Structure 1
C-alpha cells in the first residue's frame, strides 16, 4: 500500500484506518480511478485519501476524525454530477457512499420507501415497481447515479411538471453533520409542521452542510398506461398554446412536456446514428428555411385507466389538429414508438461523439421568455464566435432549457466567452444559472447572476454555523 501523505494529515489517516479498518481506507495513489473524477469534464484529481464507510455510524466516525484534525471531506455518490461537486483535491478526503446501498423498508400503508443514500436510482425505481408503486424521479444516469447524490443536487429530470423536483419526493432523511453528529429524522408523514423542516437544509446543498445517509421517499401509484405524442409547431406561440392545452386537457396525467428547437431537431434526427424522425415523409421536418417548423414538442401522459386513457388522449390530440392549434402530430402506437420518440429527445447523450468536448448548459427561465432568449443567445454566440454552433432543448413545461455549443477547428472550446453570453442573458431575463444540475465548482463564479447578495450572505451564515471549520465540500456552491 502506498502511504505517502502530508505530515499534517497523517494522524487523521491513521485514525481513519484504526476506526474503519484498512480495507475501508485508500491512500494517495491507491485511491481508485473512479473516485478521482465526475462527469464535469474538468479532469481527474488526486485525493489525499478515500474512505468507504459501511453504514451511517462509519460516516459519523469519519467526519468526527476529519473534523478533529481539520481535514476536508468531499462526499461522493455515483459521481455522475456535471458541475464538479464530487471532485476531491490533493488535501481532501473523498468519502464514498458506495457501500451504503439497499432498500431498508417499503411501507405500503404510508406509501414510503426508506433507502440508503448510495443506492442507484434505478434500483430504487425497480424496487418501487415490484412493490406496486412508482418512483417518478428519472434521469439519464439512472443506472449509476446514487439517490443521495440526486437529493444533494435536488435533481429534476423528465417528470418535474407533474411530480416536482427531487425535494418534493422526500418526507424524511438522516444526515451526518460536519462534527460527526447524526441527525435522524426518518419522517413518513406528509403533514408534519413541528418546527423547522430540517431536511431542506441538506437537499440541494451539495454536501456542504451535511452528508445524507438515509432517505424516506414518497411513492406514487403505478401508472396503468403511458401515452406519448410528438407535435410539430409553427412557432413558439404555438408551443405556449399547446402547453396550455396540455395542462387543461390532460390535467394531472400530464407528465412530460419537452421542447426541441429546430437546430436541436436537425442535429438529433439527421446526425445522430439510430435516431428516427417521427415526421418522416413530412418535408417541413427536413427543411432549414423559413418553411421549416419552428419547434417540436414531446408530450407524455401517465394514466390510471388503461381502457379509457388512450382513447381520451387520441381525442385530445385530434382536437388540436382539427382546430389548427398544431399543424402536425404523431401518437405512439407501441412501446417501440415511445422509445423512438424519446430517442429524439435523448439523442443529446450522443452529441459527444459528434462534438467532442462540447459545452453544455442547464439554465432556468420564465417560460414566456425562452424563445426570445434562445434567439438572442444563438445570435450572440454565432456573431462573437465564428463557426460556433449552438442547439437548444429542454423541459419547457417546468422552466428548464438546456444548451449545447461547439466550435470546430479550435484547440479548446471558448468556455469563458460562451459562459459570458449564456449567463449574462440569464441574469438579464431573471433566470437561474442552474435549473437541475447544481453549482459545484463550475458555476460558483456565476451564482450571483441568479442569487441576490442577501441570499448569498444567508447561505454563508448557514454554512458558518453548521460547518465552522469549513471541512464539508469546501469551495463548492458558495
Structure 2
C-alpha cells in the first residue's frame, strides 16, 4: 500500500513537490517540541492552494494521515511528523498578494514568514500588530492555526483578533474561501473561527486576510523594579489607567529569570537584581506627549510605593538594551541545557500565590532543578522553564509536568496560553476543558474530517 500510494502521490503532484526517504531533510522531521526525530512517509511542498487541494483529496481517498507544517516553531509538537503520514510544508506559499492601506489589511499566503509580513506592512506605512519571538521563522498559517499570542497581546490581542479572512483546504480537498476581509459580516456562522487555533486538525490554512494598524511614530520603554508579585499587579492596574491604549507591552521577569539569564547570557543589568522586574512599552502618535505621560505614570508609581526603582530609556538603542534580558530566551539551551518549557495562563488574582507555589514546589521536589519564571501577565500568560538535574529521567519529567499542570488546574488556569496542545499536552487537556467541551470539539472534527486524517494524535484528535 505504501509504495502504491507514494507512486500515486508522485503521479499526482510530481517530483518537484514530493520528497521521499533520504531526500526528506532533517528539519522536516521535528519541531521545537524536542520530540524524537521522525521521518515522514513523504514530504510535500506545494506552491499553491490547488496543489494542497489535490494532495488532501488523494490522502482522503487513501486514508493516509497528513501533518501540516508551518515554521515548526511551536513547543507543543503540533507540527511533529509521523512515520505513516505525509508532512505538508507550506513554506513555498510565500506570496504577499496585497497590502491595502485604505482598508488596513494585508492579503498573504500561509507560508509567508511573520517578519516579512511585518516588513510589508511597514513599507505601506502600517503595522501588523502580531509580534512573537520567532518572527523570523514562524509562518502566518502556523501563527493562525495556533492562535499565537506574543509581546503585544495586551494592546492588539491574540492572532484571532487580526484575522479578517481565511482560505482553508478541508480534509477531502474542498476549498473554503472566506476572503472578503470585511470587519462586519454576520451572514451566518463565522466559519473561519473554526480553524483559528485548531492546530491543523480541521483544515489546512492556505491564505489569509489580516487586519493592519496605524504605525505608531513614538515608543517609550521602561524597566521597573517591584518588591513582589502583588506590587507588579498593582503596577499593571496603574499603567493601564494612566496609559490606556498606549500600553503595548508589559513583560514580567521574576528574580529567577532576571538573575540567571543576565548572568548566563552576559547581559548588563540596568537595575540591580532583587524582586520582580517589569518591562513596560508604550507607543503612540505624539512623541513629546507620550514621554510626558510615561514619566508621570512612573513617577506616580514610585511616589505611591508601587515601584522601588525605574529607568526610562533615552533612545531606541537604550530601549533595545533594556529588552535584552527578556529576549535572551533564545539562549536557554546554552545557559540551562535541556529544559522542560511550560506555557500557561493564570487568573490575575491567583498569580502571586501560584508563581510562589510553583517555584517553591519545584525546588523542594527536585533539588538541583533550575526554574525560571517570566511572562506577559497582563494577558494572564506565564512562562516557566525548568532545567532538571542531569540525573533526571523520563519519569521525573512526567512528574514535573503533572505537578505544574495540576497547580494550573487548581488555580482555575489554562494548560496552554499561546502554544496549543499538540502532542505534548494531550494528557492534560481535561485540566482546562470539560468532557462536554472536548466532546464538542471531537464532533466538529468528525464532521469536517470523517476519516480522521488531519494531524491525528494531536490535541483533541483521536
For normalisation by structure 1, the TM-score amounts to 0.94
For 1:235, the equivalent position in structure 2 comes to: 228
Superposed CA offset, 1:49-90 (max 9, x none): 001111000000000001011100011111111111111111
Question: Alpha-carbon deviation of 1:200?
Answer: 1.0
Separation in 2 of the partners of 1:264 and 1:324?
23
The total of aligned residue pairs comes to 459
For 1:31, the equivalent position in structure 2 comes to: 24
Show the 5 A alignment for 1:323-472.
323-410=304-391, 412=393, 414-472=396-454
Pick the aligned partner of 2:297 from 311, 316, 320.
316
For 1:297, the equivalent position in structure 2 comes to: 278
Show the 5 A alignment for 1:183-222.
183-222=176-215
Show the 5 A alignment for 1:102-113.
102-113=95-106
User: Residue 230 of structure 2 contacts residue 352 of structure 2 at CA under 8 Å; is this kept in 1?
Assistant: no
Separation in 1 of the partners of 2:229 and 2:288?
34
Secondary structure at 1:203 match in 2? coil
For normalisation by structure 2, the TM-score amounts to 0.97
Show the 5 A alignment for 1:92-103.
92-103=85-96
User: Residue 35 of structure 2 contacts residue 80 of structure 2 at CA under 8 Å; is this kept in 1?
Assistant: no
Superposed CA offset, 1:356-397 (max 9, x none): 111110000101211200111122212211211211110010
Unaligned stretches of 5+ in structure 2? none
Separation in 1 of the partners of 2:32 and 2:301?
41
Superposed CA offset, 1:108-146 (max 9, x none): 221111000000000000000000100111111111110
Separation in 1 of the partners of 2:342 and 2:169?
31
Question: Alpha-carbon deviation of 1:107?
Answer: 1.8
Question: Alpha-carbon deviation of 1:14?
Answer: 1.9
Separation in 2 of the partners of 1:408 and 1:322?
43
User: Residue 9 of structure 1 contacts residue 71 of structure 1 at CA under 8 Å; is this kept in 2?
Assistant: no
Separation in 2 of the partners of 1:16 and 1:305?
57
Separation in 1 of the partners of 2:228 and 2:392?
37
User: Residue 363 of structure 2 contacts residue 369 of structure 2 at CA under 8 Å; is this kept in 1?
Assistant: yes
Secondary structure at 1:22 match in 2? coil
Structure 1 stretch 436-445 or stretch 12-21: which is displaced more? 12-21
Question: Alpha-carbon deviation of 1:407?
Answer: 2.2
4+ residue segments displaced more than 6 Å: none
Does 1:16 find its partner at 2:9?
Answer: yes
Unaligned stretches of 5+ in structure 1? 1-7, 280-284, 287-291
User: Residue 345 of structure 2 contacts residue 382 of structure 2 at CA under 8 Å; is this kept in 1?
Assistant: yes
For 1:289, the equivalent position in structure 2 comes to: none
For 1:247, the equivalent position in structure 2 comes to: 240
Secondary structure at 1:217 match in 2? strand
Pick the aligned partner of 1:271 from 264, 272, 275.
264
Separation in 2 of the partners of 1:30 and 1:470?
27
Separation in 1 of the partners of 2:136 and 2:455?
25
Separation in 2 of the partners of 1:140 and 1:348?
9
For 1:61, the equivalent position in structure 2 comes to: 54
For 1:260, the equivalent position in structure 2 comes to: 253
**RMSD over aligned Cα atoms:** 1.2
